[in-house]
Structure 1
Amino acid sequence: MKLKYLTVQQLIEINKQVVLQVGGTNHGVQSVESLHVVIEQPAQIVFGHELYPTIWLKAAFILQKITKKHVFVDGNKRTALMASLYFVNQNGYQLINNKIVNQAGDFVLSVTNSPDNEETMQQIANWLQEIHKKSPSS
């Protein structure tokens, strides 16, 4: 199955929705360069090998980089979570329990306070994989 990657428009819309959802009005891109890194890097192939070879590492990259690079004016942590969940969902996985989203804030905050490195990314990937299952229709 060919993966469906996030587009710039989808990511901007996710940010807009998460900011509006909490009554905010200050949405939009703060760093165009960082936005393009988040969009392009998960699909990157280097010397014939995917830089992030699993869907979980790709989703972890999205979550980690939006959180760390402050891509948006506001709502970076919420956008990071929702964008990674959307990416995984559009590629055939669903949350085991939708209540996890309510508890995920603490996890995303811990990512924000963790080093921006591969070890943190692997921890994110493991967490994402633990909270998802293959969609029945996939």
Structure 2
Amino acid sequence: MTEFLTMQDLIRIACRVTGSDDPPVRDWGLLESAAARPRASVFGADAYPTLHEKVAALVHSLARNHALIDGNKRLAFMAAYTMYAVNGYDLEPPSPEEGDVFFRAVAQGDLEVDEIAKTFVLWTSPIR
């Protein structure tokens, strides 16, 4: 069964990546929506059936919707890293530079959920 990140998890991660005790949230509704998106269903079926699609949906919402004043891409990466970790996977981009380019592309709207998920398939491996 898939473990999901909660709103509280996202708030803790946001504080960590921004170095703040209070997360710099611009829109709480967008943050809540991002937390809920991986759990979405359509006519009783998961809208995002695989773990990679669920994480991709979370990343897409966090990076694109800019719920934070600052730190959205960092939050998206760390949320993906954390969601994979709690589900027994390690997320590792080939290089920091490739990770940066990728998350910038997501934030700019150049990648959709299916493309993000395909990349995550290549960048993840089971934790041993």
What is the TM-score of this pair, normalised by structure 1?
0.82
Shift of 1:62: 1.0
- 1:47 Cα deviation from its structure 2 partner: 1.2
For residues 131 and 124 of structure 1, the distance between their equivalents in structure 2, rounded to whole angstroms, comes to 10
Counterpart-to-counterpart distance in 1, 2:93 and 2:86: 16
2:5 & 2:83 partners in 1: Cα distance?
A: 6
Q: State the alpha-carbon separation in 2 of the partners of residues 130 and 120 from structure 1.
A: 16
Q: Is contact 1:66-1:76 (8 Å) kept?
A: yes
Q: Does residue 110 in structure 1 map to residue 98 in structure 2?
A: no
Deviation at 1:27, TM superposition (A): 3.3
Q: Structure 1 CA distance, aligned partners of 2:32 and 2:5?
A: 11
Is 1:134 matched with 2:126?
yes
Please say if residues 13 and 79 of structure 2, whose CA atoms lie closer than 8 Å, have aligned partners that are also in contact: yes
Q: Higher mean Cα deviation, 39-48 or 26-35?
A: 26-35
Question: How many angstroms does 1:100 deviate by?
Answer: 3.7
Contact 1:59-1:88 at 8 Å conserved across structures? yes
User: 8 Å contact 1:12–1:28 — kept in the other structure?
Assistant: no
Give the distance between the partners of 1:11 and 1:102, measured in 2 at CA: 24
Deviating runs (4+, > 2 A) in structure 1? 24-28, 97-103
Distance (Å, rounded) in 2 between the aligned partners of 1:46 and 1:98? 31
SS of equivalent to 1:85: helix
Query: In the alignment, which residue of structure 2 is the partner of 1:75?
Result: 71
Amino acid corresponding to residue 79 of structure 2 in structure 1: A
When Rg is computed on C-alpha atoms for both structures, the one with the higher figure is 1
What is the match of residue 9 of structure 1? 8
2:25 alignment partner in structure 1: 29
SS, match of residue 94 in structure 1: strand
Alpha-carbon distance between aligned partners in 1 of 2:86 and 2:97, rounded to the nearest angstrom? 20
Output the amino acid matched with 1:79: L
| 1:32-43 mapped onto 2 (5 Å cutoff) | 32-43=28-39
Structure 1 unpaired stretches of 5+: none
Judge conservation of contact 1:59–1:85 (CA < 8 Å) in 2: no
RMSD, aligned α-carbons: 2.1
* Count of residue pairs the alignment pairs up: 128
